[in-house]
Structure 1
């Protein structure tokens, strides 16, 4: 499917998936873009000890999956610190582990984008998203 509208099963599934991740992280805010390429931003409450002056967020896109980032000093852009790198749609619990590692002593994930897929290709991605559409607890 090359286009998604805000009412389709894939768009609803993406929102449900992000809601599940945000709820597990107790995130104060999040938003998503459902059109191709789909993407999302999840704000995190805590700042990182190594970047105390910068807001921290999780980013998600349908090419590289989840990444952790800090906002620049001006707040105009984000700087990616690491990519989760497991799957474009990992279980919400895997995202929580990634964030826990980010705030811990270890350096989680990987430094380079995993480039899982090309947005808009017919590779079953929209069907994976749609599986979350009817599942209020966020598990497909």
Structure 2
């Protein structure tokens, strides 16, 4: 289970993983929560041609992985359009390709939540996250 105090290797790894994805996408803002289930939000600069009046973002959680979403009409909620699928922690380059395809002519990913795992399950997830922690200094959330 992710050490929810934010100081454990898995929590640091989650932040480093998200920082890597945000840097690859030149995301203007991002944040994450390590509370169960761990979640993240990455704002995207461009709006989708199909939804020109709605902000676009990537959402991530430890159950379903990455999803592309747009803000609701009221601007209070995010509406998921598609899930990347494949893996809860895909390489950052795979997330970048998903976003590139999102802005293309096709709908990448899958319409239904992948439901990869249950938060807290002893399935090696925390160890995978810890692998991203390395010895790098973790920048404060949202700063690249």
Q: Answer yes or no: same fold by TM over 0.5.
A: yes
Q: CA deviation at 1:4?
A: 2.2
1:64-103 alignment to 2 at 5 Å?
64-103=64-103
SS of residue paired to 1:49: coil
Question: TM-score, structure 2 length as denominator?
Answer: 0.91
- Please give the alpha-carbon distance, in whole angstroms, between the structure 1 residues aligned to 2:16 and 2:135: 8
1:1-40 alignment to 2 at 5 Å?
1=1, 3-40=3-40
Flag structure 2 segments of 5+ consecutive residues without an equivalent: 137-144
Q: CA deviation at 1:75?
A: 1.1
Q: CA RMSD in A?
A: 1.1
Dislocated runs of 4+, deviation >4 Å: none
Instruction: For residues 77-120 of structure 1, give each alpha carbon's deviation from its aligned partner in whole angstroms, at most 9, with x where no partner exists.
Output: 01000000010000000000000000001110000000000001
Kept in 2: contact 1:63–1:115 (CA 8 A): yes
Q: CA deviation at 1:73?
A: 1.7
Flag structure 1 segments of 5+ consecutive residues without an equivalent: none
Tell me which residue corresponds to 2:48. 48
| Number of equivalences | 136
CA 1:76–1:69: 2 relative to 1, 3 Å: same
CA 1:135–1:50: 2 relative to 1, 3 Å: farther
CA 1:135–1:80: 2 relative to 1, 3 Å: farther
- Please give the alpha-carbon distance, in whole angstroms, between the structure 2 residues aligned to 1:130 and 1:66: 19
Q: CA deviation at 1:21?
A: 0.1
Kept in 1: contact 2:54–2:73 (CA 8 A): yes
